[in-house]
């Protein structure tokens, strides 16, 4: 393996505590993460995308809808039950090889695996993850009227540590795969790529590096001093420069991670408002009035610099203007030098100010309150509670804002996203690990209000996340068998019952403080006592015999497990 790739792979392994995996599996997870991190608006859960030893030529697969990973048919059904009719749907496949070259035989095996995913009836893949992805894809196909352009897209990445020089045989194989997928008639777009070490390293570095961009301003004005805001500007710039310099990544796609803090997804070109934006762009007489007809875009960054007529901005988020940005991108070929866009550029490092900006700039039209969870008072209190453990072995970092700790030297395994915190609480204290396992969308629908109730004790989020962190570390060094990671959500309520008792107090009660504190005391540092709890939980699960994914999706299996806790 090339030394540069090996060094980055070692960093990835340290970040995600994967030392117990053999080198091949580490690289497969590395390839999955590098490819998918640029396509998902939230963090990649490696357990949910990596196929494992029972794969048939595919190391990673994910069904992505509106930049969100859909892990089950049930979650796909929940999503399509909503009225939205322009969902962006993509199926992504990854195959990773540690070799320094590109082997045609390995690629053809990958191609056949991908084709079987779409054509084989019944689908006979041994991997549960591939079966789940296929079932979710089948739900998407049944709902094509609710998919943008009427069809999903498919992408396939064959990743190695070599340099791809486009030899004839491999190019012929790639084009044949594109042709065969296209002939299925299922897809709006087909993308098949060979990914060499340079592209792989670039994708990995982009996953933890803030985006840096520069933009020539046609005019600008700095705003007066504002509390909590370091600098702020009103800017008018060419729309095509905005698209090319700020919105578009190296591969020509729009940078989805720029919109992680924008609570609306792109509503599609068919949306009436977006149709009007496009009409203005394409109309020769009205396009010059675009800056005054359109509300523009709000960008927030911790680092804004203005030098002459050039704006330099790093690690920025677009908190308002998602629709405008996407419509400009969709019509980028029609953008001319006389079409301008207005930008509001804000520099702040204050997370509370950041949250205020997100809520204020996204509250002009109806948005589900659940989309503001990261801005809620309970999220702020939970973040402050996590920070009280500074300097301790069990220190975890609550990520109220996506990518909040990027570039700050914090190991990824110690970062707890709001989404994972919700799944931890749901599994351990709401006693619904089945929802955390395969139905996270249903989790929010059924228990979102309970999980993020303003009266909840902050300790529940830390205690449950800490238990999961300790469990991950024990599987990473093979103290707990790796195959037990599949049961991690069910192990959380088992561990709580073994440590603090089977009766869970109400989430907002004072009794919950004492209950959750017992869990923290047990797992605050590595100890034989803490390890013994997880070992006992594993023993309970193993005593039930073979447990299929279908069984794990049912509530009854947790009752069977808890019955073994005395």
Coil vs helix vs strand at 378 = helix
What is the per-residue pLDDT for 374? 60
Residues above pLDDT 90, as percent of the chain: 72
Report the distance separating Cα 279 and Cα 256, nearest Å.
24
What is the per-residue pLDDT for 373? 61
Write down the residue that tokens 């498919």 correspond to: 154
Q: Which candidate, 207, 211, 205, places its Cα nearest to that of 315?
A: 211
What is the per-residue pLDDT for 56? 86
Between CA 135 and CA 142, with CA 138 as vertex, the angle to 5 degrees is: 145
Q: Which residue has the higher pLDDT, 40 or 356?
A: 40
What is the per-residue pLDDT for 51? 93
Q: Residue 456 has what DSSP assignment? A: S
Report the distance separating Cα 376 and Cα 332, nearest Å.
36
Q: Average the pLDDT over 296-306 and give the result.
A: 91
Contact 299, 343 (CB under 8 A): yes
What is the per-residue pLDDT for 263? 53
Report the distance separating Cα 544 and Cα 561, nearest Å.
8
With cut-offs at 50, 70 and 90, classify the pLDDT of residue 226: confident
Does the CA dihedral 461-560-479-43 come out positive or negative?
negative
Q: Is the pLDDT of residue 415 over 90?
A: yes
With cut-offs at 50, 70 and 90, classify the pLDDT of residue 473: very high
What is the per-residue pLDDT for 86? 83
What is the per-residue pLDDT for 266? 77
Find out whether the peptide bond into 122 is cis, omega within 30 degrees of 0. yes
State pLDDT tens for residues 519-556: 999 999 999 999 999 999 999 999 999 999 899 999 99
With cut-offs at 50, 70 and 90, classify the pLDDT of residue 135: very high
With cut-offs at 50, 70 and 90, classify the pLDDT of residue 362: low
What is the per-residue pLDDT for 361? 61
State pLDDT tens for residues 74-93: 999 999 998 888 899 999 99
Beta-bridged to residue 417, according to DSSP, are: 399
Average pLDDT for the chain: 90
* CB hemisphere CA count around 328 (13 angstroms): 29
State pLDDT tens for residues 501-523: 999 999 999 999 999 999 999 99
Cβ–Cβ contacts within 10 Å for residue 548, how many? 9
With cut-offs at 50, 70 and 90, classify the pLDDT of residue 371: very low
What is the per-residue pLDDT for 385? 95
With cut-offs at 50, 70 and 90, classify the pLDDT of residue 148: confident
Q: Which candidate, 317, 457, 458, 327, places its Cα nearest to that of 382?
A: 458
Contact 248, 255 (CB under 8 A): yes
Token pair belonging to 499: 């440590």
What is the per-residue pLDDT for 447? 93
With cut-offs at 50, 70 and 90, classify the pLDDT of residue 366: very low
With cut-offs at 50, 70 and 90, classify the pLDDT of residue 252: confident
What is the per-residue pLDDT for 365? 42
Coil vs helix vs strand at 268 = coil
Q: Which residue has the higher pLDDT, 247 or 406?
A: 247
């Amino acid at each position: 393996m090339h030394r540069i790739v090996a060094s980055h792979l070692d960093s990835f392994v340290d970040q995600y505590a994967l030392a117990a995996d053999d080198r091949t599996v580490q690289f497969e997870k590395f390839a999955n993460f590098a490819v998918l991190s640029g396509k998902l608006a939230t963090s990649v859960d490696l357990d949910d995308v990596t196929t494992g030893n029972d794969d048939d030529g595919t190391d990673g697969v994910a069904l992505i809808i509106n930049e969100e990973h859909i892990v089950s048919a049930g979650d796909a059904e929940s999503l399509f039950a909503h009225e939205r009719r322009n969902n962006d749907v993509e199926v992504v496949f990854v195959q990773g090889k540690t070799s320094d070259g590109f082997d045609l035989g390995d690629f053809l095996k990958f191609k056949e695996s991908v084709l079987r995913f779409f054509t084989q009836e019944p689908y006979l893949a041994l991997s549960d993850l591939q079966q789940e992805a296929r079932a979710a894809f089948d739900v998407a196909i049944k709902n094509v009227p609710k998919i943008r352009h009427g069809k999903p897209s498919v992408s396939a990445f064959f990743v190695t540590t070599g340099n791809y020089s486009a030899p004839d045989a491999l190019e012929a194989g790639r084009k044949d795969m594109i042709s065969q997928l296209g002939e299925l008639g299922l897809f709006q777009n087909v993308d098949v790529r060979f990914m060499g070490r340079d592209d792989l390293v670039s994708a990995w570095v982009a996953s933890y590096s803030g985006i840096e961009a520069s933009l020539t301003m046609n005019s600008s004005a700095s705003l007066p001093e504002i509390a909590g805001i370091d600098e702020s500007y009103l800017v008018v710039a060419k729309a095509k420069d905005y698209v090319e310099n700020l919105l578009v990544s190296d591969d020509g796609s729009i940078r989805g991670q720029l919109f992680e803090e924008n609570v609306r997804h792109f509503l599609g070109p068919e949306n009436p408002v977006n149709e009007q934006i496009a009409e203005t762009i394409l109309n020769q007489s009205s396009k010059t009035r675009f800056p005054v007809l359109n509300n523009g875009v709000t960008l927030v960054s911790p680092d804004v610099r203005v030098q002459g007529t050039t704006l330099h901005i790093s690690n920025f988020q677009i908190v308002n203007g998602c629709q405008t940005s996407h419509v400009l991108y969709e019509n980028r070929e029609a953008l001319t030098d006389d079409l301008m866009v207005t930008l509001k550029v804000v520099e702040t490092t204050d997370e509370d100010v950041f949250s205020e900006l997100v809520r204020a700039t996204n509250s002009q039209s109806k948005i589900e309150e659940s989309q503001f969870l990261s801005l809620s008072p309970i999220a702020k209190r939970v973040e402050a509670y996590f920070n009280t453990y500074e300097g301790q072995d069990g220190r975890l970092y609550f990520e109220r804002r996506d990518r909040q700790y990027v570039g700050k030297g914090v190991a990824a395994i110690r970062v707890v996203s709001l989404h994972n915190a919700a799944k931890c609480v749901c599994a351990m204290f709401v006693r619904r690990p089945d929802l955390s396992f395969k139905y996270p969308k249903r989790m929010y629908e059924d228990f979102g209000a309970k999980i993020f109730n303003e009266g909840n004790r902050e300790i529940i989020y830390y205690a449950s996340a800490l238990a999961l962190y300790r469990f991950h570390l024990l599987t990473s060094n093979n103290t707990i068998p790796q195959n037990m990671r599949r049961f991690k959500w069910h192990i959380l309520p088992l561990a709580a019952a073994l440590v603090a008792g089977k009766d869970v107090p109400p989430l907002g009660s004072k009794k919950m403080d004492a209950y959750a504190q017992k869990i923290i005391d047990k797992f605050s540092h590595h100890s034989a006592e803490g390890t013994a709890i997880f070992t006992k939980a594993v023993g309970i699960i193993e005593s039930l015999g073979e447990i299929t994914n279908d069984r794990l999706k049912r509530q009854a299996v947790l009752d069977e497990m808890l019955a073994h806790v005395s």
